[in-house]
């Protein structure tokens, strides 16, 4: 049986940017740019031995634009990393 340290990390972020053109004379506001971005990240690292470490990660990003001419974008990254340390 393996006995080592398991390190878990989870991050969530949300950001909303909007650019407005304001016409004070006519009390008219017009959205010209901007987006809503949501990101979820998760990673789990496990020390298999003193020099050998494995890492599992998952990143999910979603962005939706404020103007109707741009399409929403989603990106997903995931993977496994195995690291061996040759030093002490």
Closest CA to 13 of 38, 33, 32: 38
Name the pTM for this structure.
Answer: 0.72
What pLDDT was estimated at residue 57? 97
Tokens of 61: 């990003």
> What distance in Å separates the CA atoms of residue 82 and residue 79, rounded to the nearest whole number?
10
DSSP annotation of 67: S
Mean pLDDT per 10-residue run, the chain (88 residues)? Answer: 80 94 84 91 91 93 88 94 88
């Amino acid at each position: 049986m393996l006995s080592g340290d398991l390190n878990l990390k989870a991050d969530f972020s949300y950001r909303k940017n909007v650019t407005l053109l304001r016409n004070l004379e006519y009390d008219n506001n017009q959205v010209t740019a901007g987006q809503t971005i949501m990101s979820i990240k998760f990673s789990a690292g496990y020390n298999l031995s003193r020099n050998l470490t494995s890492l599992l990660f998952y990143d999910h990003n979603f962005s939706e634009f404020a103007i109707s001419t741009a399409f929403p974008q989603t990106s997903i990254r995931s993977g496994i990393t195995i690291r061996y340390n040759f030093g002490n």
